[in-house]
């Protein structure tokens, strides 16, 4: 399946979607389970490629582990294998993974005493890791690039002989993801103290406890976009919690700007289209970067000028996401431009009457964020390499069909 042609009218959207477990929570939980002395039950584990890659890696007895394009998996396993056992592991991935920097995390682990070597390009995978006991102690880390580096260190901190006193240097990006990590660790019995820019975790033992993984709020964003584009309707999304570990849960309030109201139910949410969008949108995505692509597309579809800050982490994702958005928007005469430290979108001259194909750049979020825009194209919208959605949302196209989208290979 190399292309999909997608089409749907905007008149009314109704239905129900059962969302898969959060990839972010699933991956953190799997690392905690691997570090726990006793196993525990995990319900609603994500079926994403990233989570499957992590499961296979943790269960593998091979010395060479290829995690493909799974960025979170690469970072979490780098820290995990540095402290687990004594065997030598070669940790590698896709060609894009071999271009994604990991030096900040490797430097931090090496400072703690880890035995890690680069095998090709300095600063990027593949890595040769020899597991050994690490004492731990005090450490500083650059907090301006990726919170995943920090989460990787926090997850292994209780297993270090002296624990970890981690000082975050610079303006922290994606703080909610660190809060998610610490809250999950607390759920499994590990206490932490976060005061100003320092996080302290003493040596402790994870306690086995069953967990039900909440659904993925970033996956929900694509259905919120569908509702924003619809003229009317109601849509239930199962598995989302009001009290959420995920920073992306801010989506429920953010989408009110676009006329979408959220009602929390016992087992999920109900979305309603209750009004028209406002005229100008402005938001800082530093705490929820995975929502940025969806919201830029919503602005384009609804002809709303938008101003987006906090997008600096998007350059080191599966692709350079800001440049990818810029390229694809140009195909429909929408300008998406970098202005100082922000990006601005100008959709006033959008052209929706042409046959347009969206390239996905090996990036699941490019495919999923642009798909709802097909509701504005009479002749449909083509998505190239649509299988990339399996990285985080394997059943995405099936769920769109349930909501009335016509999808042809």
Whole-number Å distance between alpha carbons of 327 and 331: 7
318, 325, 332, 317: which is closest to 296 by C-alpha?
A: 325
Rounded to the nearest 10°, the torsion over CA 10, 15, 20, 21 is 100
H-helix or E-strand spanning residue 275: none
d(CA 406, CA 205): 51
User: 50, 66, 216, 290: which one is catalytic?
Assistant: 290
Question: CB-based contacts of 30: which residues, under 8 Å, 6+ apart?
Answer: 42, 45, 51, 54, 55, 58
DSSP labels for 181-233?
HHHHHHHTT---EEETTEEEE-S-------EEPPB-HHHHHHHHHHHHHSSSE
Rounded Cα distance, 369 and 358, in Å = 11
CA 274 – CA 237 distance, rounded (Å): 17
* CA gap 25, 278 in Å, rounded: 33
Dist. CA 120–CA 256, nearest whole Å: 48
Q: What is the DSSP string of 54-74?
A: HHHHHH---SEEE-TT-HHHH
Distance CA 152, CA 82 (A): 11
For residue 100, give both structure tokens.
């994604």
| Phi then psi dihedrals of residue 21, to 5 deg | -60, 150
Give the CB-side neighbour count of residue 149, counting CA atoms within 13 A: 26
Active site residue 290: yes
User: How buried is residue 200: exposed, middle or buried, by Cβ count under 10 Å (0-12/13-18/19+)?
Assistant: middle
107 in Cβ contact with 135 (< 8 Å): no
Rounded CA gap, 52 and 27, in Å? 9
Active site residues: 290
């Amino acid at each position: 399946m190399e292309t999909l042609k997608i089409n749907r009218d905007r008149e009314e959207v109704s239905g129900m979607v059962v969302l898969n477990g959060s990839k972010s929570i699933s991956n953190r939980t799997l690392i905690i389970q691997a570090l726990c002395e006793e196993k525990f039950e995990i319900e609603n584990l994500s079926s994403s490629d990233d989570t499957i890659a992590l499961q296979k890696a943790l269960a593998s007895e091979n010395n060479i582990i290829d995690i493909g394009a799974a960025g979170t998996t690469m970072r979490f396993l780098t820290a995990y294998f540095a402290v687990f056992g004594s065997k030598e592991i070669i940790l590698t991935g896709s060609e894009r993974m071999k271009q994604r920097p990991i030096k900040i995390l490797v430097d931090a682990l090496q400072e703690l005493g880890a035995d890690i070597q680069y095998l090709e390009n300095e600063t990027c995978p593949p890595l040769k890791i020899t597991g050994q006991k690490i004492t731990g102690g005090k450490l500083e880390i650059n907090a301006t690039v990726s919170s995943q580096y920090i989460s990787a260190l926090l997850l292994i901190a209780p297993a270090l002989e002296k624990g970890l006193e981690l000082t975050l240097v610079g303006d922290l990006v994606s703080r909610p993801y660190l809060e998610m990590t610490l809250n999950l660790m607390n759920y499994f019995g590990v206490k932490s103290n976060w005061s100003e820019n320092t996080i302290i975790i003493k040596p402790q033992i994870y306690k086995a406890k069953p967990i039900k993984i909440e659904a993925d709020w970033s996956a929900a964003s694509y259905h919120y976009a569908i509702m924003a584009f619809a003229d009317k309707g109601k849509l239930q999304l199962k598995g989302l919690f009001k009290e959420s570990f995920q920073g992306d849960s801010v989506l429920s309030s953010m989408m009110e700007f676009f006329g979408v109201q959220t009602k929390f139910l016992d087992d999920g949410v109900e979305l309603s289209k209750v009004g028209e969008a406002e005229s100008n949108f402005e938001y800082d995505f530093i705490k929820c970067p995975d929502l940025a692509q969806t919201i830029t597309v919503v602005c384009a579809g609804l002809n709303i000028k938008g101003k987006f800050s906090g997008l600096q982490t998007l350059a080191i994702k599966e692709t350079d996401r800001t440049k990818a958005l810029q390229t694809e928007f140009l195909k429909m005469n929408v300008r998406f431009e970098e202005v100082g430290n922000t990006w601005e979108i100008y959709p006033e001259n959008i052209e929706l009457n042409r046959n347009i194909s969206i390239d996905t750049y090996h990036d699941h979020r490019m495919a999923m964020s642009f798909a709802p825009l097909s509701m504005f194209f009479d002749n449909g919208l083509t998505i190239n390499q649509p299988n990339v959605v399996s990285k985080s949302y394997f059943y995405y196209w099936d769920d769109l069909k349930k909501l009335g989208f016509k999808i042809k290979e």
